[in-house]
Amino acid sequence: MLYSNLSVNDAGHLAIGGIDALDLAERFGTPLYVLDEDMVRENCRTYLTAIGECLPEGSGALYASKALCFKGIYPVVESEGMGVDAVSPGEIYTARAAGFPAERIYFHGTNKTDDDIRYALNAGVGCFVVDNFNELAVLQSEAAKRGVMQRVLLRVTVGLDPHTLAAINTGRVDSQFGIPIETGQAEGFLFEALAQPNLQVDGFHSHIGSQIFEADSFCDQVDIMLRFAVAMRDKFGYVASVFNLGGGFGVRYVESDDQVDIAGNIHAIAEHLSAGCAAAGYPVPRVLFEPGRSIVANAGTTLYTTGGIKTVEGYRDYVTVDGGMTDNPRYALYKSAYTVLNASHADAEPDFTCTIAGRCCESGDRIAEDISMARPERGDVIAVLVTGAYNYAMSMNYNRIPRPALVMVSGGEARLAVRRQTFDDLIACEL
Ligand SMILES: *Cc1c(COP(=O)(O)O)cnc(C)c1O
């Protein structure tokens, strides 16, 4: 199996964290998101252990909430010692509703409205990752009104093009995220920020993209940030104490993807940074990472029930399931590859080539095209693996399809963490 928490049990069914997937489907209904909490914890530990081994005290990892945001995730990442990256007041609200301490939240976003800024200040978030000049001005004025000194990081764009999809590439100069170094504007951004009496500039942030497999891209990012930091020290006498390198570590979705060695990459980045700092006579900053996908993706599995099996003579076979783009829009958005298996016959040969389609009136509503699995019958449970990131978080109610339930499994036990939406939920905001 793709990951060690997945297995085939004596009944020939898929088991997730030791629990029979068919039992989960029966007990909680389908479609169903299953999140293996033990796997999430293991992923957090991989980061924090490696960081503790090779980076300065005070370095750490912030869980990027946008990958999967619901109350139940926060106590898990908090107890593992992670901070949190939030991109909206809604994410801040959810984290705090789950008891997550506001001072460990980093607030991101390209367009934080005046209300957003006030909301986050009132909540007491630890750090703003400031994206632009306009935000800087409003944040200063609101912080002054409250008489607080607000910690900030400045989001800069390093002008890198890692080998990843354009839609999830955020580090190029021409992007709506942050202020570019290459054009000289980041220098003015720092100058402006340092002049604000109620802002304490801890350092710099950049995020180069997502689903990145090589450490090289992160080392290039470190080089550019360090060169900028050294220039700013020489110019303004400012020394950054934090480099936040963002998220982006890749995840294995299908057999042909590499397994990213996260610990190895963190060690490589740390060595690269120390060498660069030594050469420049710059104190090694604390380093923060913001992993989202690599914390939750491989911990998630989506279970569906097979509806129809249809052969379009001379073309292909379709299998329709009781969910689709409404719970997983990633194929529709990015043509993302997934591993799909027949959980009811997980021990059978995957000898049937088919396209998995959802239930929306939308020809793009597909989960995977031309994949191989054991031929299903109506009623069989189908599992789509590695759906923990950007699935529930991106789910929607198109065609008035209620959002699925989410179940967390740990130590062989399953518990409902998000109940399935009802039809009443669908009309709850309608007057
Ligand atoms: C999306 C994002 C992340 C998380 O990226 P992953 O690829 O899920 O690890 C972290 N930081 C920022 C600023 C982001 O936009």
pLDDT digits (tens, 9 = 90+) for 233-246: 999 999 999 999 99
Confidence category of residue 175, pLDDT binned at 50, 70, 90: confident
Give the residue-averaged pLDDT of 145-167: 84
Average pLDDT of the residues in 21-27: 98
Of 371, 376, 368, 362, residue with least CA distance to 309: 376
pTM exceeds 0.75, yes or no: yes
Residue of 387, 259, 409, 289 lying closest to 44 (CA atoms): 289
The tokens for 315 are 């073309």
254 lies in the same domain as 113: yes
Ligand 1 pocket residue status of 246, Cβ below 6 Å: yes
d(Cα 91, Cα 66) in Å, to the nearest integer?
A: 8
CATH number of the domain encompassing residue 159: 3.20.20.10
205 lines ligand 1 (CB under 6 A): no
- Output the pLDDT for position 228: 98
Q: Does residue 178's CB lie within 6 angstroms of at least one atom of ligand 1?
A: no
Give me the mean pLDDT over the 134-146 stretch: 98
pLDDT, one tens digit per residue, over 301-319 is: 999 999 999 999 999 999 9
| Domain match, 304 and 404 both | yes
What is the per-residue pLDDT for 174?
79
348-375 average pLDDT score: 96
Does residue 168 register a pLDDT over 60?
no
Q: Which of 44, 68, 85 to mutate to test the pocket of ligand 1 (most atoms within 8 A of CB)?
A: 85
Residue 283: CB atoms within 10 A of its CB come to 12
Strands 32-36 and 300-312: antiparallel
Task: Answer yes or no: is the C-beta of 31 below 6 A from any ligand 1 atom.
Answer: no
pLDDT of residue 93: 98
Residue 401 lies in a domain: yes
Residues 276 and 308 in one domain: no
Same domain, 244 and 124: yes
Atom of ligand 1 nearest to the CA of 205: 13
Distance, CA 207 to ligand 1 centroid (Å)? 7
The arithmetic mean of pLDDT across residues 204-208, rounded, is: 96
Q: Is residue 266 part of a domain?
A: yes
Q: Fill in the DSSP letter of residue 299.
A: G
422 and 324 fall within a common domain: yes
Q: What would you report as the CA-atom Rg of the chain, rounded to the nearest whole angstrom?
A: 23
**Residue 60, in any domain of the structure:** no
The DSSP symbol for 154 reads E
Q: Are residues 262 and 189 in the same domain?
A: yes
Last residue of a domain, one of 268, 291, 314: 291
In this structure, what CATH number is given to the domain that contains residue 14?
2.40.37.10
pLDDT-derived band of residue 162, with 50, 70 and 90 as boundaries?
A: low
The answer to whether residues 332 and 261 belong to one domain is no
Residue range 129-151: average pLDDT?
Answer: 98
- Which residues, 6+ apart, have CB-to-CB distance to 84 below 8 Å? 62, 63, 65, 74, 77, 95, 100, 104, 105, 106
Distance 247 CA to ligand 1 centre (A): 4
What's the domain range around 159? Answer: 108-291
Give the whole-number percent of the chain exceeding pLDDT 70.
Answer: 97
Which residue's CA is the closest to the ligand 1 atom numbered 12? 246
14 lines ligand 1 (CB under 6 A): no
81 domain residue, yes or no: no
Q: Give per-residue pLDDT as tens, 362-404.
A: 999 999 999 999 999 999 999 999 999 999 999 999 999 999 9
In a domain, 62, yes or no: no
Please report which confidence band the pLDDT of residue 50 belongs to, taking 50, 70 and 90 as the band edges. Answer: very high
pLDDT category at 220 given cuts 50, 70, 90 is: very high
Looking at the domain assignment, is residue 91 inside a domain? no
Q: What is the pLDDT of residue 160?
A: 78
Number of domains in the chain: 2
- The residue out of 243, 274, 291 marking a domain boundary is 291
Summary mean pLDDT of the chain: 96
CB-CB neighbours of 108 under 10 Å: 28
Question: How far apart are the C-alpha atoms of 64 and 44, rounded to whole Å?
Answer: 12
How many whole angstroms from 118 Cα to the centroid of ligand 1? 24
At 116, the amino acid letter reads: D
- Tell me, yes or no, whether 171 and 270 share the same domain: yes
For the chain, first and last CA: distance in Å? 49
**What does the pLDDT read at residue 169?**
61
- Per-residue pLDDT band at 173 (split at 50, 70, 90): confident
Q: What is the pLDDT of residue 166?
A: 56
Atom of ligand 1 nearest to the CA of 209: 7
279 and 364 housed in the same domain: no
Cβ(155) to ligand 1 under 6 A?
no
Torsional sign, CA 219, 221, 222, 228:
positive
**Are residues 327 and 206 both part of a single domain?**
no
> E strands within 281-351?
286-289, 300-312, 316-321, 340-342
Active site residue 361: yes
Residues 159 and 285 in one domain: yes
Asked whether residue 144 falls in the same domain as residue 255, the answer is: yes
Q: Which of 127, 354, 360, 361 is catalytic?
A: 361
Residue whose pair of structure tokens reads 């293991």 in the numeric block: 42
Measured by CA distance, the residue closest to atom 3 of ligand 1 is 247
Q: Residue 146 has which token pair?
A: 């409250």
Of the residues 291, 313, 342, the one at which a domain ends: 291
For residue 286, being part of any structural domain is answered with yes
Q: How far apart (Å, rounded) are the C-alpha atoms in residues 241 and 34?
A: 39
Residue 405 Cα, ligand 1 centroid: separation in angstroms?
A: 25
Q: pLDDT band at residue 405, thresholds of 50, 70 and 90?
A: very high
pLDDT above 60 for 167: no
Pick the closest to residue 284 from 51, 79, 8 (CA basis). 51
Q: What is the pLDDT of residues 260-305, one digit of tens each?
A: 999 999 999 999 999 999 999 999 999 999 999 999 999 999 999 9
- Phi then psi for residue 81, to 5 deg, are 95, 15
Tell me the pLDDT band of 159, cut-offs 50, 70 and 90. confident
pLDDT of residue 390: 98
Going from the C-alpha of 107 to that of each of 48, 131, 175, 269, the distances in angstroms are 21, 10, 19, 24
d(CA 252, CA 298): 8
What's the average model confidence in pLDDT over 70-78? 98
In a domain? residue 70: no
